[in-house]
Amino acid sequence: MNFLSEIIAAKQRRVAAAKLHVPLFALKVAARKRRDGAIAHSLRAALSRGQRAKLIAEFKRRSPSKGPIRADADPASLAMHYESGGAAAISVLTEEDYFGGSLDDLRIVRETASCPILRKDFIFDEFQVYESANAGADALLLIVAALDDKTLTRLRTLAEDELGMDALIEVHTPDEMRRAIDCGADIIGVNNRDLTTFGLSLETSIELASMAPANAVLLSESGIGTREDIERLRAAGYQGFLIGETLMRSYDPAQLLRDLVGSPPYELPTVSVKICGITNLDYARAAISAGADMLGFNFYEQSPRFVTPETAGAIIEDIRANTSSGQRPLMIGVFVNAAMEHIFNIAAAVKLDGVQLHGDETTEFCEQLKNHYGQGLVYKAINGSEELDLKTLVEHPADAILIDAFDPQLRGGTGHLANWTMAGKASQLLPRIILAGGLSPENVRDAIKSVRPFAVDACSSLEVSPGKKSAKRIREFVDAVRMSTLQPATGAEEN
């Protein structure tokens, strides 16, 4: 019997014993209730945001191959070190017999850290999926080598589609990579350690990278200890890196995390994403989970996406109470020809980060608003279907100019394209151009390449009907933007 078979046999006994103490139906109810208050697919969002290497810091007490690492480690203390060091997520190894872990370790980390939490264990039963959710995990590990295709697909679907968690699908061989792809894996982890022999080689990640689909988030696991390792794997296509033993043995894990991430030769400028027309908490959570940088709330009563200040305030309050500062987007209120006092009253009541003026507001009005709004941002939308007065725009007091297609009835969310050529000219002169108007997952990469905006704004293309968002379309849009990182101004082509 190999190591993997031994561990799974021990885990099967543990799961059988747990089922005697907790009925499955009761666990399902508790897990679903716990996930109702959680942000869906937060691990994928954390791994997809920005350009720097994303490190998942692991809490692991011991190893079957090397014995005790830090058997008396305090999960709360390590979680604080990991998060302060910039970890994108924290992995908690909960297997009891060979790794010395427990679900209690995960619960303590969940209470301490605000970043996504991955449960790393040997999972083969739906009971363990609900158990993971109820303990506070945002994601869980599914090892292809330990599961048949039917079980792998069923557990992934249960975790991702029913509970809004992420499933890290772990592979070791080309055949396992093919099986992961066939099961619909979104996040694929290549473990450089062979779980049958516990041999270790980074070449495993290098060899399997080319097999992964373009839209998958690739994660390399085990044996990563230096920045050189990370840079080599990044060059092969990996966005994330799971690091355990190196951090667990470190005197200062927070500083080690900072050293491992390092600074690239230059930080490629990224395009911010604004998802507009948010009308309920589910849509807001979907946008945050996808990685949106700004959420737009439309206070124009004639819009099909109109939201009352009371509803917007409740959504924003919930988000700020349940989202870490690193994941929290800016809250922008959209107004059309509203009185200044009305704008101020709503901005204060709802606690907006900024306002977007989408009507016929004059430059003088914008300047007065900006002068009296304190630290709040002011964006001014202009008609991108007409010739732009670039000189006036250069001198405009707004923090950003939003170029949109124009419809006098809708005032945003028209589905029509703005003039990208004119927007591109404006982008060359102004520090912050926000491009809107008919942007979708299908065309946003071309739009970014043509215009090079500070941010992009999408609304109607992400809906199944006016005011009703599609979480899938939101995620596709943000993913498309993240794949469209602006290159330095040297004529280099987009990746």
- For residue 222, being part of any structural domain is answered with yes
If asked whether residues 115 and 136 sit together in one domain, one would say yes
Reported pTM: 0.57
488 falls within a domain: no
Indicate the residue among 206, 228, 261 that finishes a domain: 261
Most confident among 233-247, 260-274, 396-410 (mean pLDDT):
233-247
Span of 75-89, 405-419, 465-479 with lowest mean pLDDT: 405-419
Task: Tell which residue, 388, 397, 396, has the closest CA to residue 451.
Answer: 388
Contact call for residues 355 and 335 (beta carbons, < 8 A): yes
Last residue within a domain, chosen from 261, 283, 300:
261
* Per-residue pLDDT at 266 exceeds 50: no
Q: Quick one: average pLDDT of 142-146?
A: 96
The Cα 14–Cα 336 span in angstroms is 61
Q: What is the pLDDT of residue 391?
A: 73
pLDDT on residue 208: 94
Q: What is the bridge-based pairing of β-strands 330-335 and 294-298?
A: parallel
pLDDT score recorded for residue 197: 65
Beta strand 468-469 with 463-465: parallel, antiparallel or unpaired? antiparallel
194 and 290 in a common domain: no
| pLDDT, tens digit (0-9, with 9 covering 90-100), for 293-342 | 999 999 999 999 999 999 999 999 998 888 765 567 899 999 999 999 99
Q: How far apart are CA 71 and CA 74, in angstroms?
A: 9
At residue 494, does pLDDT exceed 70? no
Q: How far is Cα 317 from Cα 306, in angstroms, rounded to an integer?
A: 18
pLDDT at 92: 98
Between CA 313 and CA 215 the distance in angstroms is 35
Residue 492 is assigned to a structural domain of this protein: no
Instruction: Find the domain containing 120 and state its range.
Output: 3-261
Verify that 287 and 242 share a domain, yes or no. Answer: no
The answer on 88 and 228 residing in a single domain is: yes
370-379 per-position pLDDT tens digit: 888 877 899 9
109 and 181 both lie in a single domain: yes
Give a yes or no: residue 371 inside a domain: yes
CATH code, domain with 391: 3.20.20.70
**51 contacts 63 by C-beta, under 8 angstroms:** no
Q: How confident is the model at residue 267 (pLDDT cuts 50, 70, 90)?
A: very low
Place of tokens 């990640």: 205
Residue written as tokens 């809490």?
59
**173-187: pLDDT as tens digits:** 999 999 999 999 999
In a domain? residue 155:
yes
Active site members: 276, 404
Domain boundary among 235, 261, 287: 261
Average pLDDT for 458-464? 91
pLDDT at 492 over 60: no
Select from 154, 150, 228, 238 the least CA-distant residue to 189: 238
Average pLDDT score over residue span 354-369: 93
Q: What is the mean pLDDT of residues 192-202?
A: 76
Same domain, 129 and 245: yes
Q: Are residues 162 and 45 in the same domain?
A: yes
Same domain, 253 and 277: no
Taking each continuous run of H as one helix and of E as one strand, the counts in the chain are: 20, 20
The pLDDT, as a whole number, for residue 487 is: 46
Give the model's confidence band at 490: pLDDT under 50 very low, under 70 low, under 90 confident, else very high: very low
Say yes or no: 299 and 257 in one domain: no
Q: Yes or no: say if 469 and 463 are a contact pair by the CB < 8 Å rule.
A: yes
* Run of H or E residues at 456: strand 455-458
Q: Is 487 among the domain residues?
A: no
Class of residue 155 by CB neighbours under 10 A (exposed 0-12, middle 13-18, buried 19+) = buried
Q: Are residues 7 and 82 in the same domain?
A: yes
Q: Based on the fold, state whether residues 235 and 380 are members of the same structural domain.
A: no
Tell me, yes or no, whether 345 and 445 share the same domain: yes
Domain count, the chain: 2
